[in-house]
Structure 1
């Protein structure tokens, strides 16, 4: 109890509360600007943490990342441009609701689900941190291969429209993931003699090109002089939220659980958690046909998962010093710098630092409610601002966001080229989401497959030799076969009904 009270004392002081408030505003701003990411926001904070104590420094990072993930929903809802990668999974649902005049309703349920998911993930982190980390450590190349294949498969099944076009879009993303040095031979692939491409194609410029630049081209290519979204200003942000929570509370719990589990796997992250939760939700929904048309259920599934995924990523980071995502990779460096070495001994420290960290998580997520509400109330500026003024500003932020990752002009050209290709695909009704996931997971599939083959001498049965790997493999195969199984079931059912007549 004394250690817990020490932790409370470390958090509930003027400096830490002020840092949390300032980080909240900073995270909201960065997340709401298309092209800027939560990772970039955290990276910008690192120099400032040199001048802070341990708890305020970590509080700034935790709060900024949580706020930025939620704020990414704002441009996604109004402009169909996700502010952060984690918002891409359900940007279509939010934008479709906004076009129906329900933008604030979409953002309201986004906010509540984000807060719930963040607190849920934190509670899991507190209660079963070590157990979850031990499970994640049991994952080898075999398990990561199947997990990545499952994510790629979900990208096809959750897409609206033709699955053939979704598959071709996925192949385009996987093609982009092959650019760089081959892991086996070290030979450059598809780099065209450009040194900057040796390390592969960066995800951020591609995301900016596929979503933001594509939307800009669609706007300027439209014959309509003015694009607006119907927003009823007198609508309350939280008016319909209780009804949605009552109806979809199981989706909130399921999405938060999936987000925490996926987030605890090193390298997975909030964006993959959101995609998988969205896919699982669509597969289990009674109204799966409504997904992609402005369905609140899809928003509940994914927005609960992305914030809980942030908390889940801290499990391997804190307990074993293994980063769960790019944000916790930065955090580990800050922890070492502050003398708070991540590992099992961190829970044996009698100073209360670990309890202070848990309290910061809960406080940051609770702070999201009032700050997020104010951001939603002000978000109509996206509509009130004339498009001819807003679009060039967004283009500037896109260029800055693409350049700032590596300080490379090549990334700007990459953004422009991918944006043009994405526009041509979009006008022909090809979905963008599978291409993004193909880029993210393509290298994961290849690297883990080759690593497993080297380890086993090319024995493919080894992918089913381990219990967890076998379970994931069976799940993937069942997912692939599900259309045929459903079709066979319906045929047999119709045949039985005809025979009974």
Structure 2
């Protein structure tokens, strides 16, 4: 183990790896800070470029971009009241209130150091839990993997938005698309409609670039109106003042870190949920809940700590079980597979050196995030004012170039364009896009584990209740479904009661 650690430190100290980490953080912060862009879009657009890099440099760049993009969304959320990413939506209420009160520097300082603290907690959760979970995962069979995947799909649909039915609809489309291609066990083509290119299936990267990249471009340009924004004034606060404020809300930090790490470790949920949960619990636990929404320190710290803690923890199910922790890690899975690394319980044992190197790189990028975040405080007000037509034209070009670079096929570009217009339509209908991509990734895992379980049990479903772990996961899934249905039925009953009383 000592030799592996020394090798990892040597690898991370290489100039190319340090450059990849720094570029990842910087690019992530810029993308996250720009309203309309997100860490998900950045991962989708830039992941094809990493296929031509060595695994350490390529994966390190994407991990750093993931963390930088998660923090970067807080800059626009605080300065102009528009979250750069969904992970920072809860930060708007109190962060923007501070900006309107002339305290933008204070809000940004809390966001920077809250993000660094949450990031560190998430990395620790990954480092401490991943080896233990990997030992457990080696004992997991096809029945357990199928049960975990079903639970993940259930959670994806449940937390996907205000409408459970829309979340289920989007997940169903993703599952249907995952069936396109060649049968992995029988070897016969299915749902290809005679199109030869579809025999290899639909690539997750072109699909993700279209749904999150091109669709966002189309949506933003359709809603864009000419106008000029005045950059807010930012006075950078003293470090000791920010650290003093963080110490005063240490309980909120501890609670939010636990929330973020726990939600991140659950497959299929992610920071879009953890930031709201942390904000709600911070407000409930506060002695002055009436201060929330008016510039409370806890209202900025809680969501930022939680969403960044989710990043590291989300890698646990992704790397150990091959089940994405959130939408960003589903794209990361595609990059790992393109590098010849198959996510799963044997990933750590077969690539110990790479794993330790990524661990070290995560800690180095955490330090870089602190410095880049502090520098971004001075320039963020200028970054967010880049003209939208120029910005999204460049993004559209990157979408096409990144998609074509994967396999040098115009067919992939066509898939990306179709996915872009489909994603634009889904946004107009307020159908969540994330469940579609997550279900698409999980669909292959679901089918493979289910069919192999049936082959091993000679067509019987008995392993789902004969094996304790599988049975426990199934019971949790049923409880989630029952809870979701209860909430849906309750909402409908209240709406009908309200309509009746109005009449």
* TM-score, L = length of structure 2: 0.69
Residues 214 and 417 of structure 2 are in contact (CA less than 8 Å); yes or no, is this contact kept in structure 1?
A: yes
Task: Give the equivalent residue in structure 2 for 1:304.
Answer: 309
Residues 8 and 359 of structure 1 are in contact (CA less than 8 Å); yes or no, is this contact kept in structure 2?
A: no
- Distance in 2 (CA, whole Å) between partners of 1:311 and 1:61 is 19
Residues 76 and 95 of structure 1 are in contact (CA less than 8 Å); yes or no, is this contact kept in structure 2?
A: no
String of CA shifts for 1:243-287, please: whole Å, max 9, x gaps.
77642532312422554x56xxxxx7xx76657867987998987
- Distance in 2 (CA, whole Å) between partners of 1:181 and 1:131 is 35
- Distance in 2 (CA, whole Å) between partners of 1:202 and 1:470 is 33
Change (3 A) 1:457 1:354: closer
Residues 142 and 449 of structure 1 are in contact (CA less than 8 Å); yes or no, is this contact kept in structure 2?
A: yes
1:66 matched to 2:63: yes
- Distance in 1 (CA, whole Å) between partners of 2:374 and 2:27 is 16
- Distance in 1 (CA, whole Å) between partners of 2:317 and 2:478 is 27
1:255 matched to 2:260: yes
1:420 matched to 2:437: no
- Distance in 2 (CA, whole Å) between partners of 1:232 and 1:116 is 26
- Distance in 1 (CA, whole Å) between partners of 2:349 and 2:278 is 35
String of CA shifts for 1:429-483, please: whole Å, max 9, x gaps.
2222222222221222222222212221222232122222111111111000014
Change (3 A) 1:117 1:393: same
Where does 1:390-429 land on structure 2 (aligned, <5 Å)? 390-429=391-430
1:232 matched to 2:229: no
Residues 28 and 71 of structure 1 are in contact (CA less than 8 Å); yes or no, is this contact kept in structure 2?
A: yes
SS of equivalent residue, structure 1 residue 133: helix
CA positional deviation for 1:96: 8.6
Task: Give the equivalent residue in structure 1 for 2:498.
Answer: none
SS of equivalent residue, structure 2 residue 214: helix
Where does 1:53-202 land on structure 2 (aligned, <5 Å)? 58=56, 60=57, 63-73=60-70, 90=87, 112=113, 115-116=116-117, 118-120=119-121, 122-123=123-124, 130-202=131-203
- Distance in 2 (CA, whole Å) between partners of 1:44 and 1:100 is 44
Residues 71 and 304 of structure 2 are in contact (CA less than 8 Å); yes or no, is this contact kept in structure 1?
A: no
Task: Give the equivalent residue in structure 1 for 2:344.
Answer: none
Which piece of structure 1 moves more, 474-483 or 463-472?
A: 463-472
SS of equivalent residue, structure 2 residue 187: coil
Where does 1:382-393 land on structure 2 (aligned, <5 Å)? 382-393=383-394
CA positional deviation for 1:134: 0.9
Task: Give the equivalent residue in structure 2 for 1:27.
Answer: 24
Where does 1:2-17 land on structure 2 (aligned, <5 Å)? 11=9, 16=13
Count residues with an aligned counterpart.
Answer: 438
Which piece of structure 1 moves more, 183-192 or 165-174?
A: 183-192
SS of equivalent residue, structure 1 residue 183: coil
Change (3 A) 1:401 1:23: same
Task: Give the equivalent residue in structure 2 for 1:45.
Answer: 53
Change (3 A) 1:310 1:431: closer
SS of equivalent residue, structure 2 residue 462: helix
Residues 125 and 315 of structure 1 are in contact (CA less than 8 Å); yes or no, is this contact kept in structure 2?
A: no
Residues 24 and 63 of structure 1 are in contact (CA less than 8 Å); yes or no, is this contact kept in structure 2?
A: yes
* TM-score, L = length of structure 1: 0.70
Change (3 A) 1:375 1:445: farther
- Distance in 1 (CA, whole Å) between partners of 2:228 and 2:153 is 34
Task: Give the equivalent residue in structure 2 for 1:212.
Answer: 213
Residues 255 and 301 of structure 1 are in contact (CA less than 8 Å); yes or no, is this contact kept in structure 2?
A: yes
Task: Give the equivalent residue in structure 1 for 2:465.
Answer: 464
SS of equivalent residue, structure 1 residue 430: coil
Residues 221 and 392 of structure 2 are in contact (CA less than 8 Å); yes or no, is this contact kept in structure 1?
A: no
Change (3 A) 1:441 1:313: closer
Change (3 A) 1:173 1:250: same
SS of equivalent residue, structure 1 residue 198: helix
Which piece of structure 1 moves more, 414-423 or 296-305?
A: 296-305
Residues 74 and 379 of structure 1 are in contact (CA less than 8 Å); yes or no, is this contact kept in structure 2?
A: no
Task: Give the equivalent residue in structure 2 for 1:441.
Answer: 442
Gaps of 5+ in 2: 32-36, 78-83, 285-291, 293-298, 323-331, 342-346, 492-503
- Distance in 2 (CA, whole Å) between partners of 1:415 and 1:146 is 31
- Distance in 2 (CA, whole Å) between partners of 1:418 and 1:482 is 33
CA positional deviation for 1:22: 1.6
CA positional deviation for 1:227: 8.7
Change (3 A) 1:193 1:312: closer
- Distance in 1 (CA, whole Å) between partners of 2:339 and 2:95 is 36
Change (3 A) 1:75 1:210: farther
Where does 1:277-316 land on structure 2 (aligned, <5 Å)? 300-310=305-315
CA positional deviation for 1:215: 2.0
- Distance in 2 (CA, whole Å) between partners of 1:88 and 1:332 is 30
- Distance in 1 (CA, whole Å) between partners of 2:307 and 2:73 is 14
Change (3 A) 1:195 1:470: same
CA positional deviation for 1:396: 0.7
Gaps of 5+ in 1: 50-57, 81-86, 263-267, 318-323, 334-340, 348-352, 491-501
Task: Give the equivalent residue in structure 1 for 2:325.
Answer: none
Task: Give the equivalent residue in structure 1 for 2:327.
Answer: none
CA positional deviation for 1:190: 2.6
Change (3 A) 1:488 1:313: closer
CA positional deviation for 1:392: 0.6
